[in-house]
């Protein structure tokens, strides 16, 4: 898990941060091995530079069936906000290796494009290709089980009950397998709070404190919950704690490329302090 002072960790790492193929897995002199050598050379240059992109372009010409090269070639366009070229290039990777790249694309559509419907279509197709598998992977950053991505997409598409069911199934499974994500209960609790499920929201947010006790966002939402349960003094204590964590340590959920769902800013916290 990537740990920075800000914990959105959403650095949109390209496929180089995922499973880069091993050139030795391909026969010597094969197009795939030649293409991967070009990819390795491309990674010695700044990502998105002319030299890097030219080498990756060469790699996809040498071995047009090498999905990883197409995906790596697409990343700078995503980071620059050129979503058309990104989608077209990544589409080649998805077509060549859908079980490897559909989840990656779904996560990017969710986080960067706010294309919730498109992300859900990718996830539905991925589940079809992996029948019987509840867990089908993580988003590119490793922050979210893809079922959490699904739940958040459902929530943002005004399907709150479906979202809550997806959250519940995912978290029950991940509790059993000891792989609860850093922000899972934060989003679950925030969603329950939106739906007026105050007791359930409290349980989720307190569980989030257990998962990561220094996350400022959690205490902000606990403060909102205390306000709704007519406990103003307690609410102020939570907001004060959120401010202290946010300003002294910088621990909060954010992303250097985009805003994140349920993100709390320092201004949000300050407005609540009296």
218-261: per-residue pLDDT in tens?
999 999 999 999 999 999 999 999 999 999 877 888 877 788 99
Digit-coded pLDDT (tens) for 16-70: 446 677 776 778 889 989 999 999 899 899 999 999 999 999 999 999 999 999 9
Q: How would you label 178-189 residue by residue, b for 16+ Cβ within 10 Å and e otherwise? A: eebbbbbbbbbb
Radius of gyration for the alpha carbons in the chain, expressed in angstroms and rounded: 21
Residue 259, token pair as written in the block: 């805003």
Residue 193, token pair as written in the block: 């709070």
Q: Residues 143-152: what's their mean pLDDT?
A: 96
Q: Looking at residue 5, what is its pLDDT?
A: 32
Find where tokens 């805003």 sit.
Answer: 259
| Higher-confidence position of 251 and 272 | 272
- Nearest alpha-carbon partner for 207 in 217, 198, 218: 218
* pTM for the model: 0.88
Contacts of 266 (CB under 8 A, 6+ apart): 243, 246, 247
**CB of 257 closer than 8 Å to CB of 10:** yes
Q: Looking at residue 258, what is its pLDDT?
A: 81
Q: How far is CA 50 from CA 73, 83, 185, in A?
A: 11, 18, 42
| Higher-confidence position of 123 and 18 | 123
Q: Looking at residue 114, what is its pLDDT?
A: 95
| Higher-confidence position of 254 and 139 | 139
Q: Looking at residue 18, what is its pLDDT?
A: 62
Digit-coded pLDDT (tens) for 181-192: 999 999 999 999
- Look at residue 143 and tell me whether its pLDDT is greater than 60: yes
């Amino acid at each position: 898990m990537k740990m920075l002072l800000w914990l959105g960790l959403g650095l949109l790492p390209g496929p180089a941060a995922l499973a880069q193929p091993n050139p030795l897995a391909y026969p010597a002199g094969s197009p795939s091995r030649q293409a991967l050598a070009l990819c390795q050379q491309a990674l010695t240059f700044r990502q998105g530079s002319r030299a890097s992109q030219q080498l990756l372009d060469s790699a996809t010409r040498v071995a047009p069936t090498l999905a990883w090269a197409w995906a790596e070639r697409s990343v700078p366009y995503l980071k620059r906000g050129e979503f058309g070229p990104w989608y077209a290039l990544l589409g080649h990777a998805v077509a060549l290796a859908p079980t490897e790249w559909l989840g990656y694309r779904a996560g990017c559509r969710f986080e960067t494009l706010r294309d919730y419907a498109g992300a859900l279509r990718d996830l539905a197709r991925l589940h079809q290709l992996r029948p019987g598998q509840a867990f089908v992977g993580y988003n590119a950053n490793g922050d979210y089980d893809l079922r959490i991505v699904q739940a958040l997409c459902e929530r943002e598409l005004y399907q709150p009950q479906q979202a809550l069911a997806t959250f519940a199934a995912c978290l029950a499974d991940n509790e059993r397998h000891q792989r609860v994500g850093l922000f899972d209960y934060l989003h679950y609790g925030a969603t329950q709070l939106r739906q007026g499920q105050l007791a359930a929201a409290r349980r989720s947010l307190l569980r989030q404190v257990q998962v990561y006790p220094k996350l400022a966002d959690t205490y902000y939402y606990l403060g909102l919950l205390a306000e709704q349960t007519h406990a103003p003094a307690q609410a102020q204590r939570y907001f004060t704690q959120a401010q202290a964590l946010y300003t002294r340590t910088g621990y909060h959920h954010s992303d250097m490329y985009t805003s994140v769902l349920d993100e709390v800013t320092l201004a949000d916290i300050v407005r609540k302090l009296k």
